[in-house]
Amino acid sequence: MDTTPRWLAARYAKWAECQRTTWEQTRIISWWMVKTVDSKIRSPHDLMPFEWDEPPPAMVFDEESSKKFDQEADEFLKKVNPKAYEAYIKGKNANNS
């Protein structure tokens, strides 16, 4: 049997997907039963909110960290591909003026 990290990760992902499906089925069945007696519950999400129902929080960058990232990316491009860096800087300067 193959037990590489990739195989284990794929196996875990499939298991988690099956668990999620089971919880979703449970929520739907519970909602169908409860909605007959409680009119406040409009959707299954109102009955049992799960962590995967929430959208992931937006990433917020402050100006200082954005500038630092921009400078690091520029330095990396300069080392890796100097010709592309020159063209990039020309375009960046043209847009800033």
pLDDT tens sequence across 40-94:
888 888 888 888 887 767 777 788 888 888 889 899 999 999 999 999 888 888 8
One domain for residues 47 and 87: no
One domain for residues 70 and 93: yes
Confidence class for position 97, pLDDT limits 50, 70, 90: low
User: 35-39, long-range: CB within 8 Å, 24+ apart, which pairs?
Assistant: none
Domain containing residue 39: 1-54
Domain count, the chain: 2
**Tokens encoding 70:** 């921009």
Quick one: angle between helices 82-96 and 63-80, nearest 10?
140
One domain for residues 21 and 64: no
Least confident of 17-21, 25-29, 38-42, 79-83: 38-42
Q: Is 25:8 a contact under the CB 8 Å cutoff?
A: no
Which pTM value belongs to this model?
0.46
96 pLDDT higher than 80: no
